[in-house]
Amino acid sequence: MSQRLENLLGALVVALGDALDAELETAAGRPGATAAALAVLAQEPGLGIEQLKLPLRRTQSATVRVVDQLVADGYAERRPGRDRRSVSVVLTGTGTAAAAGLLDRRYQVLRDAMAGLDAGERAALTAILEKMLGAMTGDFTHSEQICRLCDIRACPAPRCPVGRAAGDAPDENWPAARPIPGRFSHADAAATRG
């Protein structure tokens, strides 16, 4: 049995990973988890360290260091959290602009990779990627890690194959008044339903 398909997929993953890493590091101005932290906080303002550490795949102390760097760079600020012991991390205007630039660069790398595909091939690839991502997704924490650089507006909760596979994405009948754990707020739930 040929392993050519697996080999080609592996080469594509490495090429896209390298291109994304280079662009995101440039956009964030730092290597490591900075880009992911900016992307997550842009879409989920006010997360605490405990929530932020999940998508970043970092320990609590490593996540604190990432937040320290974001604050030192002027990208984020700490605000009081839900109780006296917790903090909430919110991007500044500079951080929001950096996150927007980061997502723009991510899209450009991915658009360039698919530039040779026609509409039918794009539709087929979409279906294949949805199936593969759904099959690869483990639990809620894994879904947060997979989607850490996603633009959740481009793949809203009812259509997210990762969230559906992890059991954390609502369906079209999701009540807007019910909070969705992790990635989605009340307003996001209502917006995804139109």
pLDDT band at 37 (very low <50, low <70, confident <90, very high): very high
Q: How far apart are CA 58 and CA 56, in angstroms?
A: 5
The distance from CA 43 to its chain's CA centroid, rounded to whole angstroms, is 9
pTM over 0.75: yes
Q: How far apart are CA 39 and CA 100, in angstroms?
A: 8
Tell the residue number behind the tokens 């919110």, with chain if given.
90
Residue whose C-alpha is closest to residue 152's, from 67, 60, 42:
42
Question: Which ranges in the chain are annotated with CATH 1.10.10.10?
Answer: 1-115
Mean pLDDT throughout 43-66? 94
Distances (CA, A) of 56 to 41, 52, 79, 193: 11, 7, 20, 28
Terminal C-alpha separation, the chain:
47
Contact 44/181 with Cβ under 8 angstroms? no
pLDDT band at 155 (very low <50, low <70, confident <90, very high): confident
* CA atoms 178, 183, 186, 192: torsion sign: negative
Tell the residue number behind the tokens 């009948």, with chain if given.
173
* CA atoms 115, 117, 123, 127: torsion sign: negative
Higher pLDDT, 173 or 97: 97
pLDDT of res. 85: 83
129's enclosing H/E stretch is: helix 119-136
Q: How far apart are CA 39 and CA 107, in angstroms?
A: 13
pLDDT of res. 86: 85
Class assignment of domain 1-115?
A: mainly alpha
**Percent of the chain whose pLDDT exceeds 70:** 86
pLDDT tens for 160-177 read 999 889 886 554 443 333
| Average pLDDT of every residue of the chain | 84
